[in-house]
Amino acid sequence: MDRREFLGGSAALAGATAFPAIARAQDAELSFFYPVAVGGPITKLIDAYAAGFEKENPSIKLKPIYAGTYQETIVKALTAHKSGTPPVTSVLLSTDMFTLIDEEAIVPFDDFIKTEDDKKWLAGFYPGFMENSQTGGKTWGIPFQRSTIVLYWNKELFKEAGLDPEKPPQTWAEHLAFAQKLTKRDASGNVTQWGTQIPSSGFPYWLFQALTTEADAILMNPTGDTTYYDKPGVVEALQYWVDLAQTYKVHPPGIVDWGTTPKDFFEKKVAMIWTTTGNLTNVRTNAKFPFGVAMLPANKRRGSPTGGGNFYISKKATPAQQQAAFKFIKWITQPERAAQWSIDTGYVGVSKAAYETEAMKKYVAEFPPAAVARDQLEFAVAELSTHENQRVTKALNDGLQAALTGTKTPQKAMEDAQAEAERILKAYR
């Protein structure tokens, strides 16, 4: 994600699918898959955008329908592509880019960029988000709901533990030391409050990539045909994560659920959580205590992967449909709308211009945590993305879960994951 984005609370933003459906045969019919779960604030926002666009473009119809996860969305989009009736545009993970190119399911945006205004618009997105949107000298995706991973902490619990409530941990060592002070046990030794929590279901590789980045290791090459899962820095990152739970016992054991992590934070079951900035509005709405938001703690360096969804345009759509989709994508990513979307959801505004709007300046002045994910972009890396992305990522996720549940050592888990990724990717080199 962004990926991932609002799970917990009524808005399950991690992924889902809408298909703003088929227009009446006028200028163009726009079917559109959108990833967000049924119900909740996000669907109302997208409905409002669709209505706003239709009002300005009466010949184009958009009717959002919501269901499923990001994973389900890509499967549905590719199935529809193979059967010949794909959505004209979709919001899918930025990391699905290589898969969509390999399936010949999408067209590059470069062919639609004609005017000076188009060029300026395309050049305006943050470079960190374009790393997962461009390859081979072409632009295949347009950033929309994008994110980085940030640290949320409960200031009340910090105070209780004798920690400065205004100072989050800056390093891995401090993160561990703070977590030790923040973990509470009852008389019989059962944990009543965990110090820290890094979710490991849903998007384990994404949270893990924050740790590998901080260990100054990269997981794949830019062309998406080689992974580095067994490198020393990667193993070191996994060892740290495993040790938080198994050695120091300041982190819940086994697999920690992505969706319930914000809820655990609201219920004070945990003092610090790592999750998407896409949860920012959720946390602001539901936390009944003062909380802080910070960049993730550093080890050899700071860092987080970017995450979240991009717009894509279907190769099988008619030229008129493709042109209409481009018009909509350009419309919804204009600075004022990108700013409002960020304010309403917590996702990062996708362009510098979004942060220069009056609405965003006012919001950041009133609520400084809104700028943390943007500021962290300076240290961000491209999210794990390769050919056969789902299979190659699954190899890593399986290894992470084996290490976190204690069935393999971090070293063995990463060696096995690398061997599997190598087997899958060999054909692409």
CATH architecture of 149-303+383-428: 3-Layer(aba) Sandwich (3.40)
Specify the residue for token string 């992974």: 227
Looking from the CA of 56 toward its CB, the CA atoms found within 13 Å total 10
CATH class, range 28-147+307-378: alpha beta
The DSSP string of 124-173 is TB-HHHHTTTEETTEE--EEEEEEEEEEEEEHHHHHHTTS-TT----BHH
Higher pLDDT, 9 or 121: 121
Higher pLDDT, 8 or 315: 315
Residue 9's pLDDT band, with cuts at 50, 70 and 90, is very low
Q: Which residues pair with 32 in a beta bridge?
A: 89
Q: What is the pLDDT of residues 157-216, one digit of tens each?
A: 999 999 999 999 999 999 999 999 999 999 999 999 999 999 999 889 999 999 999 999
Lowest mean pLDDT among 21-25, 118-122, 143-147, 272-276: 21-25
Residue 27's pLDDT band, with cuts at 50, 70 and 90, is low
Query: How far apart are the C-alpha atoms of 309 and 152, rounded to whole Å?
Result: 22
Yes or no: say if 372 and 294 are a contact pair by the CB < 8 Å rule. yes
Q: What is the pLDDT of residues 254-272, one digit of tens each?
A: 999 998 999 999 999 999 9
Structure confidence at residue 85 (pLDDT): 87
Structure confidence at residue 13 (pLDDT): 34
Residue 384's pLDDT band, with cuts at 50, 70 and 90, is very high
Lowest mean pLDDT among 70-84, 146-160, 170-184, 298-312: 70-84
Q: Is the dihedral of CA 167, 172, 175, 176 positive or negative?
A: negative
- The model's pTM: 0.88
- Residue 72: CB atoms within 10 Å: 15
**Distances, alpha carbon 105 to alpha carbons 140, 312, 319, in Å:** 11, 9, 14
Residue 293's pLDDT band, with cuts at 50, 70 and 90, is very high
List where CATH 3.40.190.10 sits in the chain: 28-147+307-378, 149-303+383-428
Q: What is the pLDDT of residues 349-365, one digit of tens each?
A: 999 999 999 999 999 99
Query: How far apart are the C-alpha atoms of 75 and 92, rounded to whole Å?
Result: 10
